[in-house]
Amino acid sequence: MEVRQEAWRRLGTAFGVMTIGFGAAVAGLGGDFYEHEIAGFSPALESMLAPVHLLIFGGIALFGLGLLLGLRGYRAVRSGLAA
C-alpha cells in the first residue's frame, strides 16, 4: 500500500507543476496582450526573448514537465509499482 501512496503523491506533484506552468503561461499571455493592445508597443521592436515571451515559453515547458511527471505517476498507480 505504501507504493500506491507514493504514486499518488507523484501525481499530486505533477498536477502542481502543471498548474504553475499553466499560470505562468497565462500571465505571460496577459502581459503580451497588455503590451500589444493596451500600451501600444510596436511588434517590430520586440524579440522572441522579451520577458513576457520567456514567461510564456517557460510556462509551456513547466506544463510539459508536469505532464511527463503525471504520465510516470499514472503508470505507477496503474501497475502498483514504484516508477
pLDDT at 11 over 70: yes
**What confidence tier does 2 reach under pLDDT thresholds 50, 70, 90?**
low
State residue 52 phi and psi, 5-degree precision: -70, -35
pTM value is 0.81
pLDDT at 59 over 50: yes
Chain center to CA of 10: 16
**What confidence tier does 8 reach under pLDDT thresholds 50, 70, 90?**
confident
DSSP-derived secondary structure letter, 44: G
**What confidence tier does 3 reach under pLDDT thresholds 50, 70, 90?**
low
